[in-house]
Structure 1
Amino acid sequence: MEVERRYVEKFWKEVRVGDFIRLRCNEILPADVLLLSSSDPDRLCHIETATLDGETNLKQRQVVRSFLDLDCDFDPLKYNGIIECEKPNNDLNRFRGYIVHRSGRRDALYKENLLLRGCTIRNTEEAVGIIIYAGHETKAMLNNNGPRYKRSKLERQMNVHVFWCVIILLVMCLFTAI
C-alpha cells in the first residue's frame, strides 16, 4: 500500500494511519504516533499523560533506535520502510512491533517509542512521527469504556435484603387474600 507522504494538521478527524506529523511544545497529540525524530539532543520527547492516567509528572519517550543516529532533520519524502505492529488494543502499557528498512534490517518497536493520543508534548521544541493508530482505533479510545458505576458492598447487600422483603410482602398479601 502506497502511503501519501505529507505532514498533516493537528486535528484528530483529519489524520490517517501512515501520515507524518510534526508536533511542537504544548500541543496535544491527535492520534497514536511512533516517534521518529526529536529536537532534544538526547533524542527524547517529554510528554504529560494527565488526561490518560491523571499523573502530571512528565514521561520520556525515545526515538526509534534506527533513527537515533540521524544528524539532520527527518525528511518523510526520503523515508522508505515498512512498519508492522500489533492490532489496535486497549492496553496502554504495551506496544510491540518492528520496522523493516530498505536494507532489510529489522528494528523492534516498544512502548517507549509510542506517543499516545491525548498526551501533551512538554519541554521538547519539535518532534516528528508517523501515525500508527487513528480515530476510534487509538489505545485511549479503545480503553474508554464509559463511566464506571461503583457501589459499596453495603449497598449491594441492602438491595438483596430489599428484594427479599418485597417477595415476603407479596407472599403475605397473597396468603391473606386467599
Structure 2
Amino acid sequence: MARLPQQSDERNGKNRTTVSAIPPSTAIKPAPEAEGASLSSVSAIQLEGGGMQHDGVRRICPHVAIDTRAGSGYVSNQIRTSKYTMWNFLPIGLYLAFRLSTNFYFLIIAVLQSMSVISPLGPMTAIFPLVLVVCISLLREAIEDRNRWLSDRKSNLKPTRVWRQGQVLDVVWEHIQVGDVLLVRDKETFAADGIVLSSSDENGACLIDTSNLDGEANLKPRSGLACTTISRFPDAVQPSSGHLPRFTVQCEPPDVDMYKFTGMLELAKEVHALDEQQFIPRGSTLKNTKWVVIVVVYTGHETKMMKNAKEPHHKLSHVDGILNRAVVFIFVAQLTLCAVGSVCHKLWAAPFESAIMDKQAGVESVSGVLTFLSFVVLLNTFIPSSLVVSVELIKTIHAKYIGWDRDMRNPKCVLPSV
C-alpha cells in the first residue's frame, strides 16, 4: 500500500491528524435524489470513506475503499455508558450492596442469630429481611443500568446517511467510521465529530444546537471553508464537468476541550486554517439549515462529547453517606449499651454462678463474650431492617415526582428533569 505523505506541525511538536480526500483524477458523479435535498447539488463532495493509523499519526482517506480500514486503530462509533455486563453484575452488585453499613450490619446479625448458643431465634428471622433488602437494591441497580443500556442502544442504532461506493446509504451510528462522509438534514443529530465541507447555504454556513452538550440554548454558527463549499462548483447541475481536488487536513488528536479545534487544510498547494468554526461535535443538532455535509474525524469514545462524559463510577450518594454515618453512630451506641448490659449481668449473676458452677480456667471470659453477643442480638432492632427499603422507595418516588413536575423543566426543553 502506498504510504500517504506525513506532515507535522513544527510549532508545537505534536503529531497531527491527516485527512486526505478524493484524488484529482476522480470525476464527480451524480448521486440518487434524496428527500429534503437534491444530492446532485452536493455531488461535488461525493466521497467514500477510509482511514489508517500508524506510528501515532492519524490518516483519514475518504476516497479509500471501506474494507481497507480493518485494523486501522480507530475506535468504533459505538458508545457504552452502562456500568455492568451479564457476567459482573452479581459480584459487583453484591459488593456495592454490602458497602452500605446497614446491609453489613444485618449480615452480622444474621450470622449471630444462626448461633443457637447466644440466640433463641432462628437465622431466617434475620436472613429474610437481609435478602429482601439486598434483592431490592440489586433490582433497582438492574433497572437503572438497563435504562442506560437501552439509551446506548437507541443512540447506537440511529440511522444516518453516508456516502459509500458512489451512493448514499442509510447506516446506523455504531457503524460510522473515521473518514465517512455524512449527509445530515435539518433537525437531525450529528453521529460523530466532523469537519464541515458544505451545506445548503451557498457559503457553506449552518447553525447547530449544542444544548445537549453544554446547556446553551442559543444556536451556534458553523461554516465550511470557501474552497470546499458548493459555490466553488457552479456546474453542480452537471457534476461530471467538475472535480474535487485532492486536499489534506491536519488536526490535533482527540481532546476534551469542547470549544477548541485547530488544524489546517491544504488544497492546491494552498494552506487554509481550520478552527472551531468548521468543527461540529457529536450530539449537536442541525438547525435552520436544509442539509450539511461533514467528514468524520473522531468517533465513539474519542468524540468530544464522550471525552467530557464522566465514567460510570460505583460511588455512594450523599444520602447514603449520611445514612452510613448515622448507622455507625447508632451501632456504637448499641455496643455501649451491650457492654453496660454485660457488666450488669455479670454483677447480678455472680452470686448464682459461684454457687452452681465450678470455676474453670477460661469459662468466665467465654461466658462474658457470649453474654455480650446475646445483648447484641437482643438489641438488633436499634437499626430497623426497613430503613434501607424505606430510603430506596423514598428516593425512587421523589425522582418520579421531580420528573413529572412541569414547573421544574426547562421551558426550552421537553425532556423531564430526571
Query: Aligned pair 1:130/2:286, yes or no?
Result: no
Amino acid of the structure 1 residue aligned with 2:182:
I
Across the aligned residues of Structure 1 and Structure 2, the Cα RMSD in angstroms comes to 3.5
Moved more, 2-11 or 36-45: 2-11
Aligned partners of 1:47, 1:39: CA distance in 2, in Å?
A: 14
Cα pair distance change 1:45/1:10, threshold 3 Å: farther
1:54 match: 215
Residue in structure 1 matched with residue 265 of structure 2 by the alignment? 99
Q: Is the 8 A contact 2:256 2:304 kept in 1?
A: yes
**What one-letter code is carried by the residue in structure 1 that aligns with 2:163?**
Y
Counterpart in the other structure of 1:176: none
Which among 181, 201, 221 is matched to residue 20 of structure 1? Answer: 181
Segments of 5+ residues of structure 1 without an aligned counterpart are: 164-178
Residues 108-128 of structure 1 deviation map (CA, whole Å, 9 limit, x = unaligned): 100011011000001000111
Given that 2:263 and 2:273 are in contact with CA atoms closer than 8 Å, whether structure 1 keeps it comes out as yes
Larger relative contact order (CA 8 Å, sep ≥ 6):
1
The aligned residue for residue 305 of structure 2 is 140
- Contact persistence 2:249–2:266 (CA under 8 A): yes
**Aligned residue pairs: how many?**
175
1:66 aligns with 2:66: no
Kindly provide the amino acid, as one letter, of the partner of residue 56 in structure 1: A
CA contact (8 A) 2:193 2:281 kept: yes
CA deviation digits over 1:66-114, x for unaligned, max 9? 3357343888x735211110010010011000111243x1111000110
SS at match of 2:277: helix
Aligned to 1:7, the other structure's residue is in SS state: strand
Rounded to whole Å, the distance in 1 between the matches of 2:199 and 2:231 is 10
Residue of structure 2 equivalent to 1:166:
none
Q: Is the 8 A contact 1:10 1:30 kept in 2?
A: no
- Return the alpha-carbon distance in structure 2 between the equivalents of residues 133 and 7 of structure 1: 17
Q: CA deviation at 1:43?
A: 2.6
Q: Contact 1:31/1:133 (CA < 8 Å) preserved in 2? A: yes
Between the aligned partners of 2:290 and 2:283, the Cα distance in structure 1 is 18
TM-score by length of 1: 0.74
Question: Retained in 1: the 8 A contact 2:204–2:225?
Answer: no
TM-score normalised according to structure 2 size: 0.36
- After TM superposition, list the pairs within 5 Å mapping 1:70-89 onto structure 2: 70-72=231-233, 78-89=244-255
Ranges of 4+ aligned residues in structure 1 off by more than 6 Å: none
Q: Distance in 1 between matches of 2:304 and 2:245?
A: 25
Q: 1:71 to 1:99 in 2, by over 3 A?
A: closer
Is the contact between residue 90 and residue 139 of structure 1 (CA under 8 Å) also seen in structure 2? yes
1:12–1:135 CA contact under 8 A, matched in 2: no
* 1:31 to 2:192 alignment: yes
Give 1:14 shift. 1.4
- Partners of 1:10 and 1:29 within 8 A in 2: no
Report SS of the residue matched to 2:212. Answer: helix
Instruction: Summarize the Cα distance change of 1:42–1:102 in structure 2 as closer, same or farther, 3 Å threshold.
Output: closer
* Amino acid of the structure 2 residue aligned with 1:133: Y
| C-alpha distance in 2 between matches for 1:10 and 1:23 | 12
Q: Percent same amino acid among aligned pairs? A: 32
Larger Rg: 2
Paired with 1:79 and 1:30, the residues of 2 have a C-alpha distance of 26
One-letter code aligned to 1:35: V
More helix by share: 2
CA distance in 1, matches of 2:218, 2:188: 16
User: How many Å separate the matches in 2 of 1:30 and 1:67?
Assistant: 21
| Letter matched to residue 89 of structure 1 | D
Residues 42-84 of structure 1, C-alpha deviations (whole Å, 9 max, x = no match): 4311111111011222111111243357343888x73521111
CA separation in 2, counterparts of 1:66 and 1:56? Answer: 31
Once residues 83 and 60 of structure 1 are traced to their aligned partners in structure 2, the CA distance between those partners, rounded to angstroms, is: 21
